[in-house]
Amino acid sequence: MLGANALKRRGVRLHAIVDKPNRADLKGNAMLTNLEIGEEEARIAVDLIVGELKRRGKVAVIAVADRHGELIALWRMNGAGLACMTIATNKAFTAAREKKPSGDVGRSSRDGGWDIAYLGDRRYVGWDGGVPVVIGGQVVGAVAVSGLSGEEDAELAALGVQRIVESAG
Task: Give CA angle at 140 (164, 109), nearest 5°.
Answer: 110
Name the nearest CA neighbour of 164 among 127, 146, 125, 138: 138
**Res. 144 pLDDT band, cuts 50 70 90:** very high
Q: What pLDDT is recorded for position 1?
A: 36
Sign of the CA dihedral running 86, 117, 102, 12: positive
**Res. 9 pLDDT band, cuts 50 70 90:** low
What would the pLDDT profile of 108-131 be if each residue is shown by its tens digit?
A: 999 999 988 888 899 999 999 999
What would the pLDDT profile of 55-81 be if each residue is shown by its tens digit?
A: 999 999 999 999 999 999 999 999 999
**Res. 21 pLDDT band, cuts 50 70 90:** very low
Task: Specify whether domain 38-167 bears CATH 3.30.450.150.
Answer: yes
Q: What pLDDT is recorded for position 2?
A: 40
- Residue 23 CA to residue 25 CA, distance in Å, equals 5
